[in-house]
Amino acid sequence: MRRFVVLVHRVPRDGNFTLNDLAGGAGRMDEIARAVSTAFTVSNDLRRDTQVIALFGGEGSPASGRRITVSGTRVRYLNPDERSTAALLKNALVRAADFPREFESSPGLVVGPVDVREELRRLAAEPGGVWLTEDGTPWRVSPPTGPPTTFFLSDPYEPTDDEKSVLAAAKLSQVSIGPRSLRTSQVIDIVHHELDLAEASER
């Protein structure tokens, strides 16, 4: 399975935003929706081997964050356009706002309360994680080895110092996929591309 953990910083965690202002008042939900869409959609198909975990932190205590897990094995109603993907994510956040436990808000999309710092620590402690960062070792110089793994990356905002220290403490390998700072969705596309090429050459 290919898993992407996206650190989300300014999207209102209660889903209180309008779909008409995704890049503004919604805290760059446009890019989160694009990243989710890019992670799963290919031409006329979905990548069933992929999972995206979006950790919604930002203002307020890390303990009152939200986690949305989208699983390719089960996901439905995921279209290539970012507005409908944003609507799926917004629906999850709105319904989770006053709900104390994790639940499936639509097929393949699970949402619930989470302590972002603790969840990041847990995920980063799993073997084989890769921190995608502009300052990392170039992928082409040192491609991640072993089976596809968990890739950590941020939304259009820098990871917080707290998030950086959790990732650094886990001693993840830090990997750059190119010399330019790219958009979150572009980074996901390139990682899929590299993994697709590696898988094809193994056949």
Ligand X SMILES: C[S@@+](CC[C@H](N)C(=O)[O-])C[C@H]1O[C@@H](n2cnc3c(N)ncnc32)[C@H](O)[C@@H]1O
Residue type for position 182 = L
Indicate whether 156 belongs to the interface with ligand X (CB under 6 A): yes
Among 120, 153, 167, 172, binds ligand X (CB under 6 A): 153
Indicate whether 21 belongs to the interface with ligand X (CB under 6 A): no
Which residue, 106 or 185, has its beta carbon nearer to ligand X? 185
For the residues of 14-57, what is the DSSP string, one character each? T--S-GGGTTTTTSSHHHHHHHHHHHHEETTEE-TTEEEEEEE-
Per the CB < 8 A criterion, the answer to whether 189 and 11 are in contact is: no
Residue with tokens 């990243």: 35
Stretch that binds ligand X, among 12-20, 60-68, 170-178, 193-201 (CB under 6 A): 170-178
Per the CB < 8 A criterion, the answer to whether 19 and 83 are in contact is: yes
Q: Which residue is nearest to ligand X (CB)?
A: 154
Among 50, 51, 150, 154, binds ligand X (CB under 6 A): 154
Indicate whether 92 belongs to the interface with ligand X (CB under 6 A): no
Residue with tokens 């953990």: 5
Instruction: Note the residues at the interface with ligand X (CB under 6 A).
Output: 132-134, 153-154, 156, 158, 176-178, 180-184, 187
